[in-house]
Structure 1
Amino acid sequence: MALLFVGIDPETKTDQCPAAWVDVEMKPEPDILFQGWLADEETQAECRKNSPHPDTEAVIRMPYRMIDIIRKACDAAEQAAAGKL
């Protein structure tokens, strides 16, 4: 596994905060990984109305300020899929 670190919450003051990576060796396409805050039960229940999730999945929150980092992760995943990373 080769994880490309894309970025961390730009307003963090610790090392325990939202972040993004791309698994550039995942085949056939790379995966994007997020570390975020686990959504509260009320939010998860609302999300399950549209997309029930098993115990192996979770609903996480990513702050608005992470938009640029999430875009960079998407771009890196596309580059990895195209063999450019």
Structure 2
Amino acid sequence: MALKFLGIIPNTPDADSPTIWLDEDTGDLLIQSYRASEEEVKACQEIGSIPGHSTDVPDHETIIRLPKTMLQFIPKPDGE
């Protein structure tokens, strides 16, 4: 796996550091960030996604909160 560091939240303290990496082999993003609160997860489940799709969060997934300032580090698709 070839990871590339993309960014860390500016002025972050040593122990609180949302970070983004790019897997250069797959194009996937690996994101370390804040775990969504129970209230936020419930709100996501209430809104849902597409009709008929489960709103349960599987054990191998989680919902994270990505601070707005971190969006600058997300790569744009080619041509944008």
Q: State the TM-score, normalizing by the size of structure 2.
A: 0.75
Structure 2: which 5+ residue stretches go unaligned? 50-54
Q: Which has the higher helix share?
A: 1
CA distance in 1, matches of 2:24, 2:68: 25
Query: For 1:28-47, what aligned pairs fall within 5 Å after superposition?
Result: 30-47=27-44
SS of the aligned residue for 1:65 comes to: helix
Q: CA RMSD in A?
A: 1.7
Moved segments of 4+, more than 2 Å:
none
Residue 16 of structure 1, CA deviation: 3.6
Residue 33 of structure 1, CA deviation: 1.4
Query: For 1:24-63, what aligned pairs fall within 5 Å after superposition?
Result: 24-26=24-26, 30-49=27-46, 50-51=48-49, 52=55, 53-63=57-67
Percent identity among equivalent residues? 38
Matching residue of 1:11: 11
Residue 67 of structure 1, CA deviation: 2.1
Residue 68 of structure 1, CA deviation: 1.1
SS of the aligned residue for 1:46 comes to: helix
The number of residues matched between the two structures is 71
Residue 15 of structure 1, CA deviation: 5.0
Higher RCO by CA contacts (8 Å cutoff, separation 6 or greater):
1
Amino acid at match of 1:55: D
Residue 48 of structure 1, CA deviation: 2.0
CA distance in 1, matches of 2:15, 2:29: 19
